[in-house]
Amino acid sequence: MTLNSPKTRRPTIYDVAKQAGVSPSLVSLVLQNPARVSDKRREAVQTAISDLGYRPSRAATTLASSRTKSIGLVIDDYRNLWFVDLLRGMEAVLTDHGYQVMLADSRPGENRIREAADGLLAMHVDGLVIAAEPSASMLAGTGVPTVVAGWRDGVPAGADLITNDDDGGGGMAASHLLGLGHTRIGHLSGSGGAAAHRRAGFRGRLQESGVEPLIGGEAGGTSEEDGYNSACWLLDHHPDITAIFAANDTMALGALGAIKARGLAVPADISLIGYDNSTLAKSRYLELTSVDNRSDLVGVDVAKALLARIQDSAVGPQRKLIEPALIVRGTTARPGF
């Protein structure tokens, strides 16, 4: 067994063809559509392939066929785990159609998302998914069907848009707290488009019931630290508050820190809802009530939209919102319970 022997040129279809006693074209056919080749030759070719350890060159295939059977996925930040669900959802659909997903390496820096997309396009992906803040210039002239996932605003009319209904999710959180009887309700508002929608949906639903939410940290970020600081502000300025809705689970964790620091208990004194239904929320220790984005469903629809447009370039772009789901756990209860 030889490891890493760069000396020996890797085998090509010509080597396989010679070994199997057929023409290179036939080898290519076996690779693409084995059913169209006679049993005898097919087996001979397949034997030769494994004997030689032949692997098709993706570059050559791409160049010759101008199809890559691959979809590029640009991610904002690998630490935001929602992309894992998105990816799983996409794969559930794409694998059946022989497509492969390529993740773009989003290195830090100014134009990193643009660069990541460019890198993917240079590799001739057949479709592109932007799971990050899109800019119009980025979506212009990509040359392939492009879908924006998870970001709702600033998407030009020509691109597909499939994302989570953050307004709806915010409304669900509001309904849950109202249903439990809360009336003095705070919100830890993250930054960015999704957070704005969560806030809007939340506030809208509360106002329908005549309740005005107490908003903290509108200008801040989305980190645990931001959640901690905003929660501190809320608790100190509104000591009679009985419930808090955080724009994400991480901020909810920060809120837990602030609540604990003041000697208050969850959910006895304060009910808390997060957003994302992350592993954090599912934790047995935290038992956080949270809104689940159903990003897996987003992934499924993203893949379907892409396939439809790849297969038929006449298909127009679509926009779709996926309905989230409220997962009730141990951090919400009736006020004063």
- The residue within the footprint of a copy of itself, chosen from 29, 49, 132, 142 (CB under 8 A), is 142
Q: Could you say whether residue 243 binds a copy of itself (CB under 8 A)?
A: no
Q: How far is the CB of 171 from a copy of itself (least distance, A)?
A: 27
Q: Is residue 103 a contact residue for a copy of itself (CB under 8 A)?
A: yes
Q: Is 329 in the site for a copy of itself (CB under 8 A)?
A: no
**x-or-dash string of contact with DNA, 176-195, rule CB under 7 A:** --------------------
Q: Is 14 in the site for DNA (CB under 7 A)?
A: yes
Q: Rule CB under 8 A: choose which of 15, 91, 133, 153 binds a copy of itself.
A: 91
Please write down the HEC assignment for all residues of the chain: CCCCCCCCCCCCHHHHHHHHCCCHHHHHHHHHCHHHCCHHHHHHHHHHHHHHCCCCCHHHHHHHHCCCCEEEEEECCCCCCHHHHHHHHHHHHHHHHCCEEEECCCCCCCCHHHHHHHHHHHCCCCEEEEECCCCHHHHCCCCCCEEEECCCCCCCCCCEEEEECHHHHHHHHHHHHHHHCCCCEEEECCCCHHHHHHHHHHHHHHHHCCCCCEEECCCCCCCHHHHHHHHHHHHHHCCCCCEEEECCHHHHHHHHHHHHHCCCCCCCCCEEEEECCCHHHHCCCCCCEEEECCHHHHHHHHHHHHHHHHHCCCCCCCEEEECCEEECCCCCCCCCC
Query: Which of a copy of itself, DNA, none does residue 26 bind to, with CB < 5 to 8 Å depending on kind?
Result: DNA
Binders in 59-88 for DNA, by CB under 7 A: 60-61, 63-67
Q: Which residues form the interface with a copy of itself (CB under 8 A)?
A: 1-8, 10, 53, 55-60, 62-63, 68, 78-79, 81, 83-84, 87, 91, 95, 100-103, 105, 107, 118-119, 121-124, 136, 139-146, 156, 158-159, 224-225, 228, 250, 253-254, 256-257, 260, 279-280, 283-285, 309, 313, 317
Q: Which residues form the interface with DNA (CB under 7 A)?
A: 9-10, 12-14, 22-29, 31-32, 36-38, 40-41, 54, 56-57, 60-61, 63-67
